[in-house]
A and B are shown apart, each in its own frame.
Chain A
Amino acid sequence: MLRYLLVRTAQTVFAVFVVATLIFLGLQLTGDPMENLAPPDMSAAQVEELRKAYGLDRPVYVQYLRFMGHLAQGDLGISFLSGEPALRLILQRFPTTLKLVLAALFIAVFLGLPMGVGAAIRADTLTDRTLRFLSVLGISAPTFWIGIMLILIFSVNLGWLPSSGLSSWKHYLMPAFTLSLYRIALFLRMVRSTMLDVLNQDYIRTARAKGLAERVVVYKHALRNALIPFITVAGLQFGHLMAGAVVTEKIFAIPGMNRLALDALYSDDRPVIIAFIIVVAVLFAVVNLVVDLFYAIIDPRVRYA
């Protein structure tokens, strides 16, 4: 086990370096950061001075080596825009995005899972068809539109919920729901189809033949087995959400790390862009590792493979 963990950690570190290199090179292609950093009224000479102050006048390979050297020490550079360390800026907002994502996942699991089970046991009935139809809506509805509509209804018309920020539990409801909608639909369909697969297995037939109550069959035996792929997908969705909640964060004015990364992208604040991507890469690697470990723990067959 320890050896396995060490190998995975080494792989993660390697992946981070590859990602960092690709991003660094990619950003070189986006043009001159001074276009966005230097205000229009500066003369050419002053722009060059500013460029020097940021170390951007050195040749690319020198910049790259310095960058990698710093990366190895955990220093991801200073944000061009604000002068604060890029990594600190991202990590400062990490908990905000995390809370939002956990709230969204919680809603998605709380609603999607039971609806999926319900749809599976009532396969091909009206309930099932209705749920499947709703899931199509959930998957196709654009986040942007859902968010604005919710604000319109609950903040402006009804005045029940605040429209922006995250300072109380009420603030979480709309953004978390907006984020969760797609996942509710996804989980519903996923759980339904895995449950149906499982329910057709021989051992379920045996359980029923044994005389076990249907409830025990479904929840104790079938659901447990269906949960394994479900948790894998849920875990991966966590990663997706952490890196992709950008539209929701923008609409609801939530100071999360996605919005910071978006602003950095627009103003070519390269250290922050790179810091964000690296944090996300590490996050995905960790999530993958946890999910794989979970798999190994739950399913003995995987352990010896």
Chain B
Amino acid sequence: MKRIGILLAFVSALAFAGGDQLVVAYQGGAVTLDPHLRNETTTLSWQHHIFETPFFYDREGKVVPVLATSIENTDPNTWILKVRSGVKFHDGTPMTAEDVAYSILRAATHPKSQMKAYVGKVVSARALDEVTVEIKTKVPDPLLPAHLDHAAVIPKAYMEKVGEEGFQKHPIGTGPYKFVDWLNADHLTLERFEDYWGPKPDFAKVVLKNIPQGATRVAGLLSGEIDIAEKVLPQDFARVERSGRATVKQTPGVRIIYVAMDYWREYGSEGLPEGAKNPFLDPAARKAVYMAIDEEAIVKKIMGGAATVAQQFLAPVHEGYSPKIKRFPYDPEGARKILEDLGYGDKDGDGWLELPTKDGKRVPFELRIDAPNDRYLNDAQIAQAMASMLRKIGIKAEVNAVPKKVFFPNMTKGHFTLYIAGWGSMDSINTMLSMFHSKDPEGLYGRFNRQRYHNPEVDALIEKAASTFDPTERDALLQQAMEIAMVQDVAYIPLHYENVIAGVAKGIDFSPRPDEYLHAFEAKKQ
């Protein structure tokens, strides 16, 4: 019976084809409709149609109030949040401070919540009256308003009445679209919420579909079955543009693809020949590798233009982005000279630079570049390009590209000397703490600083920024930290920011967000 219902809903949704219905194809699908349990971009994108949060990032990277109207802190650990009035849930009940407090606490304390990285510092949230919430944190969190973008507001009474399983069968939120029907990770059918507090979206019905294969998404776009397709691959751009049915829209994203090198082992680094000295402990050698990479060529040829050359780890929309940092110029001869001056010159004339070994001999400078092959756009190809560029300056580089399921555990265990990976997050403090701060024994800092970059000066700046409430001051501190890390220390080699790409059918006005969320309610009729 339920299946017939789903079938009917689907068919009737298709019957609306064109006109007032929007069909959006994603590469994945939401695996849960409980907004606190899974921190994953596609799941959250689908959920954002139904649920909203107190604050959210806009396309320029600014934190704007959504379900909240204002927030201020009375002391470093206490915040007073004012809730927007006149907001209704999809079942008609009004949203109150009680619901907001309940939701924030749930996101912070539910055993299976994946939002704890954002709101985990919250120890209590209670409604002082119909429109005021008092939030207390265990340590000061200057970014709490931004972090509340992961605390979706759900109706307390309803959740307590139907329970978690019942909630997923029919979720209720305050968002611009109401739940109609859902098949786990396959599709979500929505209809416009006519009592929405904000500007009503253009399309009355929305179907979000999971179409895992890129070619099928493009085919659906070209045949008219799909209105917006995410993650169109560069090799399909020409075909989409030629078809006259749709165009490709690109926005520079916040996901940076970077190269990390081993900073902690003098000998025994596994991507180098046995017993060879690790040259990457010296920032000059790291700079040499940086200069050997022709990133413009990578963006143009490998990425098909679907990326933007980066000069630092954070993107222009991020807090802490420093306009002062420039890319080291592409200079293969200069790079080779630096390495030769450091003592890695080719003494035996075989064409390869050399590394000294523990027992006083010299071996050819062989290097294994590790990369995933199914995680980032053209990741294995980027590694190949990099390998051939390094070979041109005398480093005998080879690529080891493996599936992400193998790559990431090995990266964590420290098996790599030089690897390529990506990082995407709107939260600059978190980025700096995870990637640039040195590792500490409790695992609070440097969680993703696998190659153990460490600089106490940078650590101090980041820690100070993390507890600074004033945004201008915080921004300045972060910029300073980035300048030292990128220019002086060459902590990472920044390659490019992936563009966020969507294929959009003619007649629809839509462009992708830099944070990779894809929201059907942002699409307008042309």
Residues of A whose CB lies within 8 Å of any CB of B are 30-32, 35-36, 38-46, 49-50, 52-54, 79, 81-84, 89, 92, 95, 148, 151-152, 155-156, 159, 162-165, 167-168, 250-253, 255, 259-260, 263, 266, 268
Contact = CB atoms under 8 A, between A and B. Distances in A.
A253 B187 CA distance: 10
A252 B220 CA distance: 10
Interface in B182-197: 183-187
B120 interface: yes
Interface in B92-127: 111-112, 114, 116-118, 120
Given A35-B405, A35-B409, A79-B31, 15 more contacts: A36-B405, A41-B118, A41-B434, A46-B120, A81-B31, A82-B32, A148-B216, A152-B219, A156-B219, A165-B10, A165-B187, A167-B11, A255-B210, A266-B405, A268-B405
Interface string B369-411: 0000000000000000000000000000000000001001100
Contact of A250 (B117, B212, B219): B212
B223 A156 contact: yes
Given A46-B117, A155-B223, A253-B211, A53 B112 contact: yes
A29 to B, nearest CB: 12
Nearest to A85: B165
B442 A45 contact: yes
17 contacts: A35-B412, A41-B427, A41-B434, A43-B117, A45-B442, A83-B34, A83-B168, A84-B184, A89-B184, A148-B216, A155-B220, A156-B219, A162-B223, A165-B209, A251-B215, A253-B209, A255-B185
A39 B451 CA distance: 20
Contacts of A162: 223, 225
B488 interface: no
Nearest to B186: A255
A56 to B, nearest CB: 12
Contacts of A35: 405, 408-409, 412
Most chain B beta-carbon contacts within 10 A, residue among A52, A79, A156, A168 = A156
Contacts of B40: 39
B63 interface: no
A230 to B, nearest CB: 33
A50 B184 contact: no
Contacts of B297: none
A82 B120 contact: no
Nearest to A54: B112
Given A83-B32, A156-B219, A42 B164 contact: no
A95 B412 CA distance: 41
A44 B111 CA distance: 15
Given A46-B116, A83-B112, A263-B185, A253 B210 contact: yes
A49 B211 CA distance: 33
Contacts of A155: 219-220, 222-223, 225
A40 B31 contact: no
Task: Kindly state the interface size class of chain B when it binds its partner.
Answer: 35 or more
Most chain B beta-carbon contacts within 10 A, residue among A45, A89, A162, A255 = A255
Contacts of A52: 111
Given A39-B117, A41-B118, A46-B117, A164 B405 contact: no
B112 A164 contact: no
A165 B10 CA distance: 10
A168 B11 contact: yes
Contacts of A36: 405
A151 to B, nearest CB: 5
Nearest to B412: A35
Contact of A49 (B111, B209, B216): B111
Contacts of B31: 79, 81-82
Contacts of A260: 185
Contacts of B114: 38-39, 42, 50
Contacts of B425: 41
A32 B408 CA distance: 11
A164 B220 CA distance: 8
Nearest to A89: B184
Contact of B219 (A79, A81, A151): A151
Contacts of A255: 183, 185-187, 210
B91 to A, nearest CB: 22
Nearest to B374: A266
Contacts of A250: 212-213
Contact of A50 (B11, B112, B412, B444): B112
Given A83-B112, A252-B216, A43 B222 contact: no
B220 A41 contact: no
B244 to A, nearest CB: 13
